[in-house]
Every structure is written in C-alpha cells, then in structure tokens.
Amino acid sequence: MGDHAAKARLFDALSEVAKALANGRRAELIDVLAQGERPVEELAAEIGQTVANTSHHLQRLLRSGLVRTRRSGTHIYYAPASPAVVALWVSLRAAAEEHVAGLDQLTRDYLGDRTALRTMTRDELTTRLRVGDVVVLDVRPAPEFAAGHLPGAVSLPIDQLRERLGEVRAGNDVVAYCRGPYCVYADEAVRMLSTAGRVAYRLEDGFPEWSLAGLPVERRP
C-alpha cells in the first residue's frame, strides 16, 4: 500500500495549479499571455489593473510554474511556461462552459447578442485559405500579431479598423479573429464590416486554439 501522507502531498502539489488559476484576474492574464509574451506594464493595461497588482498576480503564477520570464533591458517579459499551460486554460474554459450555471447569460452581458454574427470554423477557414478567396484580419493589438498570427493575416487592431476600413481588400469575404471565444474585438470588427456592406465572419475561437490545433502559424521576424 502507498504512503497516505505522501499521496496527500502529491495531490496538494498538483492542486497548486488550480489554486493559481482560482482568481479571475490571473485567469485573464493567462488568456492574454496565450497570445504571446508581454511586459507587465502592457499586461496591466490589458486587464485594467495597476502595475503593482498585476505584478502580484504574475508572481503567483510564476511560483506555481505556469509562467516564465525573460529580461530585455529594463523590461521583464512574461509568457506561458509551455503550450500545456495554454491547453489547460482552454480545457478549464470548456469545462466551465459545460457545467457552470449562468455562464451563457454572463457571456451575453459582456459580448452582447451574437446571433446575427456569421461564424466560420477552423476547418472552413483552412479550406478558404487554400482557395485564396478570403481576407483574414487579426484585430488584436499589434504586439500579439507580431508574436504569432494566422497565415496571410493582416494586422488591423480593432481601435484602428474604422479609420482603415478602406485598406481591407474588396471583392472577398472577410474573417476576423482575436484572442478566443470571449474576445470582443472580432465581434466588433464583424459588426463594423457588415455595416460597411462587407460579408464578414468571426472565427469560432481565436489564435491560441488555432495554434494548439497544430495549424500553421506565422511570426513577424
């Protein structure tokens, strides 16, 4: 028979990962970091927290082994420790979608009514990319596009889209994507493009899911 105390210590150690993610801001940080490494100042702006508070959450994630760091000059960059961390976040999110009561209403409260938005699956987009009859817009912030993006995607951050609509190649359908299924940027882009008379789709999820599926990814040199 195994040592019960040793078993308890093992499961306590495993639970540290769950404890590290048992905070909404830390989960949000993993969601942002799934797009690519970022310095603490940018992360604080993304999640609407002070630099001090964001640093505190990042240190908790670092102690649990979920993130790693890299120093460049005066900046410290944070990133997921491995693809397994991103996969864990995607799986946790999927379990919540399946079992957490009221999540649909919370999603509607945040993202609004999505029923009128066209959606394209990863498989459908892969086919359209082979045919070459679609324009793919990455509407995430520019640093995330530089860290990794879909093949042939055009970087057009959502806060620039309205002024730069004329740059979107005419004559083709448009697919917009961002960070994942709870990212509002792609929804806003599809609504904006549709109002402008374009046939526009939202990718069903986002860049992390595309990458985890083993689909091609490009990075800015």
201 and 114 assigned to the same domain = yes
164 and 85 assigned to the same domain = no
The reply to whether 158 falls in a domain is yes
Q: Which domain holds residue 75?
A: 4-89
Confidence of residue 30 (pLDDT cuts 50, 70, 90): very high
∠ CA 161-167-172, nearest 5°, is: 100
Which of 60, 89, 118 is the endpoint of a domain? 89
Chain segment 98-129, per-residue pLDDT in tens: 999 899 999 999 999 999 999 999 999 999 99
Average pLDDT rounded to a whole number, residues 33-50: 96
76 and 114 assigned to the same domain = no
The reply to whether 99 falls in a domain is no
The reply to whether 156 falls in a domain is yes
Per the structure, the count of domains in the chain is 2
134 and 75 assigned to the same domain = no
Indicate the average pLDDT of the chain: 94
Which of 55, 89, 123 is the endpoint of a domain? 89
Residue 221 has what pLDDT? 57
The residues, ordered by sequence, that sit 6+ positions from 217 with a Cβ below 8 Å of its Cβ are 148, 149, 150, 151, 210, 211
Q: Which of 96, 57, 65 is nearest to 180 (CA)?
A: 96
- Choosing from 147, 178, 193, 203, the catalytic residue is 178
145 and 207 assigned to the same domain = yes
The two most distant CA atoms of the chain are separated, in Å, by 70
CATH code of the domain in which 73 resides: 1.10.10.10
28 and 77 assigned to the same domain = yes
Residue 58 has what pLDDT? 98
12 and 82 assigned to the same domain = yes
Which of 45, 60, 89 is the endpoint of a domain? 89
| % of the chain with per-residue pLDDT over 70 | 99
Rounded to whole angstroms, the Cα distance separating 200 from 120 reads 10
Chain segment 65-89, per-residue pLDDT in tens: 999 999 999 999 999 999 999 999 9
17 and 60 assigned to the same domain = yes
| Whether residue 183 lies in the annotated active site | no
The reply to whether 102 falls in a domain is no
The answer to whether residues 16 and 64 touch, using CB atoms and an 8 Å cutoff, is yes
The reply to whether 38 falls in a domain is yes
Name residue 78's amino acid.
Answer: Y
74 and 114 assigned to the same domain = no
Confidence of residue 1 (pLDDT cuts 50, 70, 90): low
Report which of residues 4 and 80 the model is more confident about: 80
Rounded to whole angstroms, the Cα distance separating 150 from 48 reads 27
Chain segment 136-187, per-residue pLDDT in tens: 999 999 999 999 999 999 999 999 999 999 999 999 999 999 999 999 999 9
Rounded to whole angstroms, the Cα distance separating 118 from 201 reads 5
Residue 220 has what pLDDT? 74
